[in-house]
Amino acid sequence: MVGASCVYPMDKIKTRLQSAKAIPGVTTNVFKDIGQTFSNIFRKEGFFGLYKGMAPQMVGIIPEKAIKITMNDFLKRKVRQIQGYEPGHELSVREEAVAGIGTGLFQVLYT
């Protein structure tokens, strides 16, 4: 949640820059660059305007991270089981990568 809070203002600025060209009647010089877009949001909406609309993302992070951690632990156990390792055995970098790739694929499909 802390990480998402740190990058949310940049995501908001990026979205404003991308959508400015798609909004009829909005001139592109209103949202010319990152600095100007930041200034416009800050001036018109205040500091908290940079974080407006973040609540749905925060709500979605909790289950997404829970699924990610659970799936990664599950896949690590499966790798240990397939390799015939004892529970808690340290996995190699390659084995960790296999579990991580599987976790990433599942996370993308789920979210």
Let me know the angle formed at the C-alpha of 31 by 29 and 36, rounded to the nearest 5 degrees. Answer: 100
CB atoms < 10 A from the CB of 49, how many?
15
CB 37 within 8 Å of CB 17: yes
Average pLDDT (80-108) is 94
| CA 36 centroid distance within chain | 25
pLDDT digits (tens, 9 = 90+) for 1-39: 888 889 999 999 988 888 766 556 655 555 578 888 888
CA 91 to CA 42: how far, in whole Å?
48
CA 71 to CA 83: how far, in whole Å?
18
CA 30 to CA 19: how far, in whole Å?
12
Q: What is the pTM of this model?
A: 0.61
pLDDT of residue 36: 87
Residue corresponding to tokens 């529970």: 87
pLDDT digits (tens, 9 = 90+) for 44-57: 999 999 999 899 88
Helices 2-20, 34-45: axis angle to 10 degrees equals 100
